[in-house]
């Protein structure tokens, strides 16, 4: 069963290839959605896919790419139409 989860990732997550790394992981897991930088220095990730894949992405987001420092990940399930692909903005 597909679901959609919205993540807010806090820490040193901008300027460390977080969005592009998230896109690569998401695409490998067949997840659609987006990863965007927020004005407050955080990154927002919308992930749509199968529960197991979303859980794997959620686990990866706890650490992110090598140069990142993740302090907190907040997640909530939301209802949206399925995105066509994974975008970074």
For residues 58 and 8, is the Cβ–Cβ distance under 8 A? no
Q: Which of 87, 9, 3, 74 shows the shortest CA–CA distance to 43?
A: 9
42 is catalytic: no
Both tokens of 86, joined, read 């994974």
Q: What pairs with residue 76 in β-bridges?
A: 6
Q: Single out the catalytic residue among 12, 24, 37, 42.
A: 37
19 is catalytic: yes
For residues 72 and 10, is the Cβ–Cβ distance under 8 A? yes
Q: Single out the catalytic residue among 19, 24, 42, 51.
A: 19
Query: Annotated active-site positions, please?
Result: 19, 37
């Amino acid at each position: 069963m597909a679901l959609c989860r919205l993540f807010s990732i806090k820490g040193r997550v901008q300027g460390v290839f977080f969005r592009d790394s998230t896109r690569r992981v998401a695409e490998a897991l067949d997840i659609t959605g987006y990863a965007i930088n927020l004005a407050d220095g955080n990154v927002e990730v919308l992930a749509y896919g199968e529960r197991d894949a979303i859980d794997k992405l959620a686990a990866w987001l706890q650490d992110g790419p090598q140069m990142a420092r993740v302090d907190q990940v907040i997640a909530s399930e939301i209802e949206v139409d399925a995105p066509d692909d994974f975008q970074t903005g």
